[in-house]
């Protein structure tokens, strides 16, 4: 079964307060995107890599690859305004009848080799999996007005979702086909699509790491630089 890494690099980066999308911002000598690409390039289990970015940043992505070649990259695709549009673009472009898709947010540059390999390994038993870390904060569910507490779930069973997330292509295709019939559903990740529309499919939880942070705000860049200064790239420990 071929393993294809899907690097989602279509974010706008508005919360960073920068015109340049955050995946193209510099981090300790190279772009954030390059760190994620390197992690998948170096993983022995990954056969190919697709990059999905905004249409107007395809040329910039190509320029980065000229300066920083990644031999496993076979396609650079145009995504859309929402995250799930990028996943759909990758599904449509994938020529394999069935394969394993390991989907990763480009703005998680400190993903470890262990996380990628664990995702691939779990697809021998499960058809969907996600990295995640146990929630350390108490989580509140509000009422519909977002002003008062409706519920306080038991933190023991709560996790913060990360990427990579991995799927058999056939499962993800089936879930997205069903989602196409529900125009009111707006997913924030691919496991949400599978869980909603294929509820009988078990989604395996794989240990992530608090070091596998998502670059969202300027202070996240500072934290990522600190982590890179004390540990080798792509070797953060899972917890």
Range of the domain at 149: 3-230
Domain annotation covers residue 50: yes
69: which residues sit within 8 A by CB, 6+ positions away? Answer: none
Best CA proximity match to 173, nearest among 83, 110, 60, 91: 91
Q: What is the DSSP letter of 192?
A: H
Q: Tokens for 151?
A: 């519920």
| Strand ranges (E), the chain | 3-9, 26-27, 30-31, 48-53, 73-78, 100-105, 128-134, 141-142, 149-151, 159-168, 204-207
Domain annotation covers residue 64: yes
Distances 222 to 30, 96, 216, 227, 238 between C-alpha atoms, Å: 14, 40, 11, 9, 21
Going residue by residue through the chain (239 aa), what tens digit of pLDDT does each one get? 999 999 999 877 666 666 789 999 999 999 999 999 999 999 999 999 999 999 999 999 999 999 999 999 999 999 988 899 999 999 999 998 899 999 999 999 999 999 999 999 999 999 999 999 999 999 999 999 999 999 999 999 999 999 999 999 999 999 999 999 998 898 999 999 999 999 999 999 999 999 999 999 999 999 999 999 887 655 555 54
Q: Give the count of beta carbons closer than 10 Å to the beta carbon of residue 1.
A: 12
How would you write 167-186 as a 3-class SS string? EEHHHHHHHHHHHCCCCCCC
Crossing angle (nearest 10°) for helices 190-197 and 169-179: 70
Domain annotation covers residue 237: no
- State residue 232's pLDDT score: 61
3-class state of residue 88 by DSSP: helix
Domain CATH code at residue 116: 3.90.550.10
- State residue 194's pLDDT score: 98
Q: How many residues does the chain have?
A: 239
H or E stretch including 193?
helix 190-197
Domain annotation covers residue 235: no
Q: Tokens for 125?
A: 């038993």
How would you write 200-233 as a 3-class SS string? CCCCEEEECCCCCCCCCCHHHHHHHHHHHHHCCC
Yes or no: say if 5 and 48 are a contact pair by the CB < 8 Å rule: yes
- Per the structure, how many domains does the chain have? 1
Domain annotation covers residue 158: yes
- State residue 235's pLDDT score: 52
């Amino acid at each position: 079964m071929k393993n294809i890494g899907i690097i989602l690099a279509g974010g706008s980066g508005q919360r960073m307060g920068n015109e340049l999308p955050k995946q193209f911002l510099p981090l300790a000598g190279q772009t954030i995107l390059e760190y994620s690409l390197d992690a998948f390039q170096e993983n022995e289990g990954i056969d190919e890599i697709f990059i999905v970015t905004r249409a107007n940043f395809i040329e910039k992505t190509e320029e980065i690859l000229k300066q920083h070649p990644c031999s496993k990259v076979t396609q650079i695709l145009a995504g859309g305004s929402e995250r799930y549009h990028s996943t759909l673009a990758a599904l449509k472009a994938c020529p394999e009848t069935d394969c394993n898709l390991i989907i990763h947010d480009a703005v998680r540059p400190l993903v470890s080799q262990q996380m990628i390999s664990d995702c691939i390994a779990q697809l021998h038993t499960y058809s969907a999996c996600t990295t995640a870390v146990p929630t350390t904060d108490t989580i509140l569910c509000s009422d519909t007005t977002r002003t008062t507490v409706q519920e306080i779930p038991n933190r023991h069973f709560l996790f913060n979702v990360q990427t990579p997330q991995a799927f058999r292509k056939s499962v993800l295709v089936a879930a997205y086909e069903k989602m196409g019939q529900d125009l009111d559903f707006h997913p924030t990740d691919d496991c949400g699509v599978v869980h909603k529309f294929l509820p009988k499919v078990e989604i395996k939880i794989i240990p992530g790491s608090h070091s596998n942070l998502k670059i969202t705000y300027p202070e996240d860049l500072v934290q990522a630089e600190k982590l890179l200064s004390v540990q080798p790239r792509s070797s953060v420990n899972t917890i």
